Amino acid sequence: MATVIDGKAISQTIRSQIANEVRLLSQKYGKVPGLAVVAVGITKDSPRYVEMKRKACTELGIKCLVVELPEQVSEAEVINQVHDLNANPHVHGILIQLPLPKHINEENVLTEISLEKDVDGFHSLNIGKLAMKGREPLRLPCTPKAFLELLERSGVGIKGKRAVVVGRSNIVGLPASLVLLKADATVTIVHSHTSQLENIIREADIVIAAAGQPMMIKGSWIKPGAAVIDFGNNAVDDPTKKSGYRLVGDVDFEEASKIAGWITPVPGGVGPMTITMLLKYTVEGAKRYIE
């Protein structure tokens, strides 16, 4: 049976350290770290994601400023908001909830965030440096940073390993593959146009699942002993639940946990860690202004 990587418990440990830092910052310097989350319109999962971030900030004493803009807002107006947040001394991290509505060019907005406040690491300069050998971004995006921490704390090495990333989104799959490459893994990215992807996944020592397809990766596709990181966060109907749904990953956890060496559960795996990394970056951002 696989070791289940308890992202929730590891997160709690890190979050209590962050809470101490927040307390110190406030006592010694009267400074409260602030995160701004810009949410444009309402996409499928965005209210749930925004709420999780707001709650996590509040629990740690970080100020969370949610800027909600209507679906029809112009690109220029979103950029204006970003400029205001850049200039706001109470805001140390800015996150634009993605995806943005189709009429807004994502890159135009993300590159207006000041580099120091780019807690998502999605500014073109940060992501560009991540893609280049020998260059270091100011920050890694929170999603790969989260699984790096989990693998490291679980004693799973990356160097020389064969890693397969399932999905090539800008938020998870692509940055995950760049980070693994920088960590000296041999990386393959599979996506919706890849044929016989199960044969490729079967070769992986490390599987990063980020396809957004509930339980698409079967236990029999996993190499025995592999480390499986599941970014899936899919709501599926479940009439036995009060909410009417339950969350499942992109991996069939029950099957895969019998074969893998390590596996992250959904919920309680890489999700809470991603938010924890965001909180960590925000506090680091606040410290930059006093040290």
CB nearer to ligand GUN: give 172 or 185.
Answer: 172
Q: Which of the following is catalytic: 81, 117, 120, 182? A: 120
Token pair for residue 261? 């060496």
Q: How far is it, in rounded angstroms, from Cα 168 to Cα 290?
A: 38
Token pair for residue 220? 């029999």
CB nearer to ligand GUN: give 41 or 157.
Answer: 41
- Minimum distance, C-beta of residue 255 to ligand GUN, in the bound complex (Å): 26
Q: Which residue has the tokens 């946990």?
A: 257
Does residue 47 have a cis peptide bond before it, meaning omega lies within 30 degrees of 0?
no
Residues 159-198 that bind ligand GUN (CB under 6 A): 171
Instruction: Answer for the pair 285, 86: CB distance below 8 angstroms, yes or no.
Output: no
Who's near 55: CB < 8 A, 6+ residues apart?
none
Residues 135-164 that bind ligand GUN (CB under 6 A): 142-143
CB nearer to ligand GUN: give 121 or 265.
Answer: 121
Instruction: Answer for the pair 88, 289: CB distance below 8 angstroms, yes or no.
Output: no
56 binds ligand GUN (CB under 6 A): no
- Minimum distance, C-beta of residue 147 to ligand GUN, in the bound complex (Å): 12
- Minimum distance, C-beta of residue 52 to ligand GUN, in the bound complex (Å): 10
3-state secondary structure of 148: helix
CB nearer to ligand GUN: give 231 or 253.
Answer: 231
Task: Show the site string, 103-122: x = touches ligand GUN by CB under 6 A, - = not.
Answer: -----------------x--
- Minimum distance, C-beta of residue 91 to ligand GUN, in the bound complex (Å): 15
Q: Which of the following is catalytic: 31, 81, 97, 250? A: 97
Q: State yes or no: is 53 an active-site residue.
A: yes
* Half-sphere exposure in the Cβ direction for 12 (13 Å, CA): 4
Instruction: Answer for the pair 260, 66: CB distance below 8 angstroms, yes or no.
Output: no
Task: Show the site string, 58-97: x = touches ligand GUN by CB under 6 A, - = not.
Answer: -------------------------------------xxx
β-pair partners for 248 = 234
Q: Name the nearest CA neighbour of 50 among 62, 70, 36.
A: 36
Q: State yes or no: is 218 an active-site residue.
A: no
Instruction: Write the DSSP string, 158-219.
Output: -TT-EEEEE---TTTHHHHHHHHHHTT-EEEEE-TT-TTHHHHHTT-SEEEE-S--TT-B-G
CB nearer to ligand GUN: give 109 or 228.
Answer: 109
Q: State yes or no: is 72 an active-site residue.
A: no
CB nearer to ligand GUN: give 234 or 257.
Answer: 234
- Minimum distance, C-beta of residue 49 to ligand GUN, in the bound complex (Å): 5
Closest-CB residue for ligand GUN?
Answer: 98
Beta carbons within 10 angstroms of residue 241's beta carbon = 10
The set of catalytic residues is 53, 97, 120
- Which residues in this chain contact ligand GUN in the complex, by CB under 6 A? 49, 95-98, 120, 142-143, 171, 274
